[in-house]
Structure 1
Amino acid sequence: MTLHRALWAGRVMSAFVVIALVADGIIQLFAPAQIASMLQETGFAMDVTRVVGPIVLACATLYAIPATAVLGAILVTGYLGGAICAHVRIGELGSSPEIISLVLGALTWGGLYARNSRIQAILPLIR
């Protein structure tokens, strides 16, 4: 893949992650009733959306800004890991939310890798 194509592939992957996280954050802040049943299933109170929503939006913002993208990726990874853990805790191994979180995590780092030469230098792929 050429450098230009890799850069654009990384941007597209990263944009998908940012859009998904922003949508999640907005739903948690402005329409928590939409996710009330999922929160109840995983054992979280409705009040947690007022805290988690802004955190998700902050993570997405940090990831979207090139200067803070690595910090954002680390924070997104932590958030997604927590989401996976919440579902493992209740015995939902391999559930849709887990798969989505896993894919978003892979896209987070794949997108950052494709668009950031510093990450490529730290983690070179064998060709």
Structure 2
Amino acid sequence: MSLIIEPELPKPARITGRVMSGLVILFLLFDGAMKLIPLPIVTETMDKMGYGASDTLARSLGIITIVCTLLYSVPPTSILGAILLTGYLGGAIASHVRIDSPLFTHTLFGLYLGLLLWGGLYLRDGNLRALIPFRR
């Protein structure tokens, strides 16, 4: 069974989708790299969130972030990457809820990033638009 690919979106919409996805990719690669080092701010924040100041855990999260982001950035695996990143961001939201972080700046940041991630993918991937059609 094959998906029917809808006609291409206008060029400005595709460019907007690529820019949105590019911003998400750059942010998450930077975030993953910070965890790979791991910088003191990373381990201190993890400790405040109740996970301990573990360099090993920080590096593991960095690897997960980078691998999922690379999957998202490659067109044939972009939907899988988006699904995995959605789970990752959901875990971040749950962690912030657990420690009662500020709602709009910390807790919902994962939601904002997820909306940007899926919005960018929707604008640049015809298969996703065929799977989830928005009717006029």
> Above 0.5 in TM-score?
yes
Q: Which residue does the alignment assign to 1:13?
A: 20
Shift of 1:93: 5.4
What are structure 2's unaligned runs of at least 5 residues?
A: 1-8
SS of residue matched to 2:108: helix
Report the residue type matching 1:41 in the other structure.
K
Larger radius of gyration: 2
The separation in 1 between residues aligned to 2:11 and 2:104, in whole angstroms, is: 36
1:44 to 46, 51, 70: 51
Q: Which residue does the alignment assign to 2:76?
A: 67
- TM-score normalized by the length of structure 1: 0.92
Report the residue type matching 1:6 in the other structure.
A
Q: Which residue does the alignment assign to 1:117?
A: 126
Give the 4+ runs in structure 1 shifted more than 3 A.
none
Shift of 1:95: 4.9
Q: Which residue does the alignment assign to 1:94?
A: 103
- TM-score normalized by the length of structure 2: 0.86
What is the RMSD computed on CA atoms of the aligned residues? 1.4
Report the residue type matching 1:42 in the other structure.
M
1:84 to 79, 88, 93: 93
